[in-house]
Structure 1
Amino acid sequence: MNLKIQHFVIFVTITCLCACNDAPKKLSKISGKQLPITDSIDITDSIDSFVAPYRKRVNEVLDSALAYSPKQISKKDGKYNTSAGNLMADIILSESNPIFKSRTGQEVDFVISNHGGIRSVISEGKVSARTAYEVMPFDNSIVVVEIKGKSVRELISFLINAKNPHPIAGMQIVLNNNETLKDVNIQGLPFDENRTYYVATSNYLADGGDDMGFFKDGLNTVDLNYLIRNAMIDYFKKVDTLTAKVDDRFIKIEWK
């Protein structure tokens, strides 16, 4: 009798276990809450002491003076081009062209960047590596895209119709008084729709970011593996004073 009871218990146990294993598991609830990190949280002295020398060294590197700006450089001081945009585009052109030429034997024809990618003004006074991080906090790298003249024409139309002045360098766009296109010059020569051009930009824009779809038909793309932020730092180290200004690279002729 006891043996039968034992067998019955074993049978019931196995049956229950199998039933439990076969039952589908469902997530009943997900909950969460914000845990704000503020200066109200007490500092752990041992951790702070450990981090202190590293923090000190990082701040020394970031805040060391590399150049000087005699005035504020902003992306809001011009309608068709701005001092900050011009500086950004000029830096990309000057710092990327030697690298691109050494790798391919070709020259960068012009640069296009995006107005929204500039995240801070450059204040009057000391310019440091921290300045570059504030202006360009993203890890965007410089790429050079070879595009046909037809795509350049689309790029020009995009710039004319854009609501914000996107940075350019190596190219001049001149509009008539009625906002129609008058002239386009690239590296001082009239735009030729029958040739291809090498355009330096960011990897984000080359992938179609900010609606810059004209890069989709690119013939070839060379990633320089060179962050725009690092190009800025390298440029700052080379110059004594920043001379960015609004100029005639994108203008409209005003007729009285």
Structure 2
Amino acid sequence: DAMRKSSGADFAFINFGGVRQPFSKGPITVEDVFLVQPFDNVIELVDMNGFMIRNLIEKAYSNESRPMDAADRQDAKEQHRNNGDGTKLMVGSPHGILLPSGLHITYDPTLPPMKRLLKLTTSDGKELEAEKIYSVAFNDFVAEGGDGFTYLREIPNHKKLPILVRDALIKHIEDLKVIEKRPEKRVFNVKLREELFD
């Protein structure tokens, strides 16, 4: 959300590996932000039509999947405060996983790669128009082909902004003043049961 707000983009994506840990309850310091976002990546805007965005998301959610085992369930509890069970998407091969701002993604990880996206809407429930051009914010690592998204660098209209992702996050937190609840759920795996707890 910080990237989308600071850049004025329609949507934004952060790679899963770009967020190193969650925030804990209590006051958030600049040091905490550095631990969450330790990289010196800047925000980069890419002009993409609705078809390209859908294709990007299909790639991001086409990694290998498998049923959660006991270690996965324990990790979900300890790292994400989540009593999860079902089929999970594996992180890191062949693509990173992208987490959206401004979009809701519903997918089935048991379907064939590039055919898993069941529903894609904006956060207010509207369908993306296939030929409409949208402004999409990424960190420059992903925008320039990192995490397996090499085809992004072939898209012609890129604009690198002089805004560190970390600085955008600090400004976003300052504007919010208090974070009273978890972010809204934006990615829905229909084969995964999740029960969040505090």
Q: Calculate the TM-score normalised by the size of structure 2.
A: 0.69
**Which residue in the other structure is 2:99 paired with?**
167
CA distance, structure 2, for counterparts of residue 211 and residue 240 of structure 1: 36
Alpha-carbon spacing, 1:204–1:242, altered in 2? closer, same or farther (3 Å):
same
Moved over 3 A (4+): 176-180
| Residues 135-188 of structure 1, C-alpha deviations (whole Å, 9 max, x = no match) | 111110011101233422321112222434532111111235955322111353
Larger radius of gyration: 1
Higher relative contact order (CA 8 A, sep 6+): 2
CA distance, structure 2, for counterparts of residue 158 and residue 151 of structure 1: 11
**What is the 5 A alignment of 1:235-254?**
235-243=172-180, 245=182, 247-253=184-190
Aligned AA for 2:106? V
CA RMSD of aligned residues (A): 2.3
Native 8 Å contact 2:61 2:109 kept in 1: no
The structure 1 residue matched to 2:47, chosen from 127, 133, 146, is: 146
**Which residue in the other structure is 2:142 paired with?**
205
CA distance, structure 2, for counterparts of residue 204 and residue 178 of structure 1: 29
Partner of 2:185, secondary structure, is: coil
The structure 2 residue matched to 1:155, chosen from 56, 60, 67, is: 56
**Alignment pair present for 1:94 and 2:30:** no
Partner of 2:171, secondary structure, is: helix
Aligned length: 156
**What is the 5 A alignment of 1:13-162?**
90-97=1-8, 108-162=9-63
- Larger fraction in strand: 2
The structure 2 residue matched to 1:183, chosen from 87, 99, 119, is: 119
Q: Any gaps of 5 or more consecutive residues in structure 2? A: 64-89, 92-96, 192-198
Q: Any gaps of 5 or more consecutive residues in structure 1? A: 1-89, 98-107
Native 8 Å contact 1:117 1:136 kept in 2: yes
Partner of 1:161, secondary structure, is: coil
CA distance, structure 2, for counterparts of residue 141 and residue 208 of structure 1: 14
- Larger fraction in helix: 1
Shift, 1:114, TM fit: 0.7
**Alignment pair present for 1:218 and 2:133:** no
| Residues 219-255 of structure 1, C-alpha deviations (whole Å, 9 max, x = no match) | 311112100111111112212222452643111346x
Native 8 Å contact 1:128 1:236 kept in 2: no
